[in-house]
Amino acid sequence: MTEEKEEESTTGLPWPKSWKSAYILVGCNFAFWLVLLVLLGTIGQ
Amino acid sequence: MNELDIAVLLITVFSITAIGIWQTRKRDSLSSYLKGAKQTPWWAIGLSVMATQASAITFLSTPGQGYLSGLGFLQIYFGVPFALILISIFFLPIYHKLNVYTAYEYLEKRFDHKTRLLGAVLFLLQRGIGAGLTIYAPAIVLSTVFGWSIQTTIICCGLLVTFYTMLGGTDAVTVTQKYQLSVIFVGMITAVCLLISKLPPELSLLDAMHLAGGFGKLQAVNFSPDLNERYTLWSGLFGGTFLMLSYFGADQSQVQRYISGSSIRESRLGLLFNALCKIPMQLFILMIGVLMFVFYQFREPPLFFDSRAGASLTTFHTDFKKSHQSVKQSLETWLQAKHRGDTASSTKAFEQAKSSYLDAERVRLDAVKEVAKQKTLKTNDADYVFISFILKELPHGVIGLMVTSFFLAALSSKAAELNALGASTTIDFYMLKVNKEATDIQSLKATKIFTLGWGLVAIMIALVANFSENLIQAVNILGSIFYGVLLALFVVAFFLKRVGGTAIFWSAIVAQTLIFALYLSGTMSYLWFPLIGCSVCVILSLLLQQAINKKNPIENKA
């Protein structure tokens, strides 16, 4: 039971440790690519 | 293709298949056959999820899409990160907790028999046709280019994948996908390196980007609110999230990949790995098309990449060649002026190049109109761009590696589809309707027979298929038609506890009919279908449930 709970709350990775941080990382990663793509669209214009 | 290319193809394809069969030879119970040995680590789940989605169409057709239309197609994947986060939070824990074989089993636990069957039917219909498409797509391109018989290509490819999926089950799919994806990426990276090396030496990568941007190929984000535009930020974010949520959350071919994880943590990490990698991976593939576009500004491209149209287009060649020559000369002048720091001349030359490019495009579009008159050919030649470049510009050995990559990509996604089709037919129909008392051995045998059956169905669909759309779009359109309603079944199941089986069942039927009507009317981009299908189904189910409650208040209280 405790093991199951621990599995629910941690990623088991050195970083990010919590699932919440992992989801934030995914969101930030998307924002990074979106900004990069918008900037890419301005090249040569 | 010469002997070296054929040797690379045969050795790689057969050795990966043999490894897959050998490593998974002891899957002799239904559980180990459908869910694997439950030892799959997160990175293998991640690769398997990625390989299932990335079929041969992805690698053959997407670079052509980038060549012709630029990076705009990338917006379809904007929903992937959000969809995968939602699945990790809501779908995954339920699938793991209930220990289900198929996603549709959950629908019976939550609603009733008929809703489960409806979910399974929607999946089997969509994926059954899709399986034919994933086998037809690479076959039509490869057979056209190499002059192979399309029937032979479809049958060989189809039988090989059916054989190893039938023998090894889920683990065979996961194990082979790992190796297949590695070969595919080696192939794609090699192609990019060779493509860059073939650009004119005086053209830096920054210049190449400037050129592509100036010619409108780097516009990846479209902020237009127009519903008719196929790819916009909004259709990608909202429509795309619903499309991907349905695909990853309710399509058994994906669900089966991540429920085979050794724990919920491994499955979740595998999904988040995809949430991180999907956009850069697709950008990389589209950028191959953009780089090919730059390459072909200095080397005359074919007027139409599907070589079968060649003879009918001779009248356009002179004008096209003239315009292209003008583009090339202007770009050379642009580069020279740029390197000596003459901004005024470089700007003038670049503008001249753009104007000549538009002339060449006009000639090309006239040629496309001519192609349209020949009813046997598709007007969209995006599927032939990359393979045509590979055959004309890359050395032998690398050609073999690239063709191997396409074959392996076809096998990897097809295997996952067959595995899921076999599983759903056994669990949701055979064990539910045909043989309720089936023993483990009987069910395992039935799954293998159904997998073989679906393999043969896919081969037959591929043999009679004819799609007017570009292949990568045809796959997404097909998914969009069915996925919204399929997703709605799960959304209502998870979040609207007061809605019962009858309400959701009839709402799903009405919503699916509406989506068919919308598709046939052609009034909006297909990316909105999942969102509309899902929303209509959810709202209708709430209204219908309210009506049922009013009609039978006592019964419902009880």
Q: Does A34 touch chain B (CB under 8 A)?
A: yes
The average pLDDT across B280-299 equals 97
Confirm if B360 and B343 have CB atoms less than 8 A apart.
no
When CB atoms are compared, the residue of B78, B220, B265 closest to A12 is B265
CA distances from B106 to B94, B252, B395 (A): 8, 12, 52
Local structure of residue B37 (DSSP, 8 states): T
Q: Of B395, B544, B519, which is closest to residue B469 (Cα–Cα)?
A: B519
**CA nearest to A25 within chain B:** B276
pLDDT-wise least confident of B46-50, B226-230, B445-449, B497-501: B226-230
CA dihedral B95, B414, B388, B327 (to 10 degrees): -20
CB B85 to CB A27 under 8 A? yes
Q: From the CB of residue B366, how many other CB atoms can be counted at a distance below 10 Å? A: 15
Highest mean pLDDT among B56-60, B191-195, B401-405: B191-195
Q: Does A14 touch chain B (CB under 8 A)?
A: no
When CB atoms are compared, the residue of A8, A22, A42 closest to B272 is A22
Confirm if A26 and B276 have CB atoms less than 8 A apart.
yes
| Rounded distance between C-alpha atoms, residue A42 and residue B11, angstroms | 45
The per-residue pLDDT for range B307-340, each reduced to its tens digit, is: 888 777 888 999 999 999 999 999 999 999 999 9
Interface of B with A in 486-545 (CB under 8 A): none
DSSP labels for B359-378? HHHHHHHHHHHHHHHSTTS-
- Predicted local distance difference test score (pLDDT) of residue B557: 45
DSSP labels for B177-239? HHHHHHHHHHHHHHHHHHHHHTS-TT--HHHHHHHHHHTT----------TTSSS-HHIIIII
Which residues does chain B have within 8 Å of residue A40's beta carbon, measured at their own beta carbons? 71, 209, 213, 218, 220
pLDDT-wise least confident of B143-157, B196-210, B393-407, B508-522: B143-157
- Predicted local distance difference test score (pLDDT) of residue B558: 38
Q: Does A6 touch chain B (CB under 8 A)?
A: no
CB A40 to CB B213 under 8 A? yes
Q: Would residue A18 be called left, alpha or beta, if left means φ above 0 and alpha means ψ between -120 and 50 degrees?
A: beta
- The percent of residues in chain B predicted with pLDDT above 70, rounded, is 97
pLDDT band at B191 (very low <50, low <70, confident <90, very high): very high
The 3-state DSSP class for residue A10 equals strand
The per-residue pLDDT for range B363-383, each reduced to its tens digit, is: 999 999 988 887 777 778 888
The per-residue pLDDT for range B55-109, each reduced to its tens digit, is: 888 898 899 999 999 999 999 999 999 999 999 999 999 999 988 999 999 999 9
Q: From the CB of residue B329, how many other CB atoms can be counted at a distance below 10 Å? A: 14
- Predicted local distance difference test score (pLDDT) of residue B423: 94
The average pLDDT across B388-392 equals 92
The 3-state DSSP class for residue B261 equals strand
**CA nearest to B214 within chain A:** A44
Which residues does chain B have within 8 Å of residue A27's beta carbon, measured at their own beta carbons? 81, 85
Q: Is the pLDDT of residue A2 over 80?
A: no
Asked if ipTM goes beyond 0.90, one says yes
User: What are A18's strand-pairing partners?
Assistant: A10
CA distances from B389 to B96, B153, B202, B550 (A): 46, 21, 22, 65
Place of tokens 């989506």: B515
The per-residue pLDDT for range B530-541, each reduced to its tens digit, is: 999 999 999 999
pLDDT-wise least confident of B119-123, B150-154, B184-188, B285-289: B150-154
Which residues does chain A have within 8 Å of residue B231's beta carbon, measured at their own beta carbons? none
Task: Answer with the residue of higher pLDDT: B194 or B28.
Answer: B194
Tokens of B388: 């045509």
Which residues does chain A have within 8 Å of residue B293's beta carbon, measured at their own beta carbons? none
Q: From the CB of residue B368, how many other CB atoms can be counted at a distance below 10 Å? A: 18
- Predicted local distance difference test score (pLDDT) of residue A1: 46
Q: Is the pLDDT of residue A7 over 70?
A: no
Q: Does B85 touch chain A (CB under 8 A)?
A: yes
Q: What are phi and psi of B395, to 5 degrees?
A: -75, 160
Q: Is the pLDDT of residue B449 over 70?
A: yes
CB B81 to CB A40 under 8 A? no
| Rounded distance between C-alpha atoms, residue B126 and residue B251, angstroms | 9
Determine the distance from the C-alpha atom of residue B408 to the mean position of all C-alpha atoms in its chain, rounded to a whole number. 14
| Rounded distance between C-alpha atoms, residue B178 and residue B555, angstroms | 53
pLDDT band at B27 (very low <50, low <70, confident <90, very high): confident
- Mean model confidence pLDDT for chain B: 91
Q: From the CB of residue B248, how many other CB atoms can be counted at a distance below 10 Å? A: 27
Which residues does chain B have within 8 Å of residue A11's beta carbon, measured at their own beta carbons? 265, 268-269
CB A38 to CB B88 under 8 A? no
Confirm if B473 and B480 have CB atoms less than 8 A apart.
no
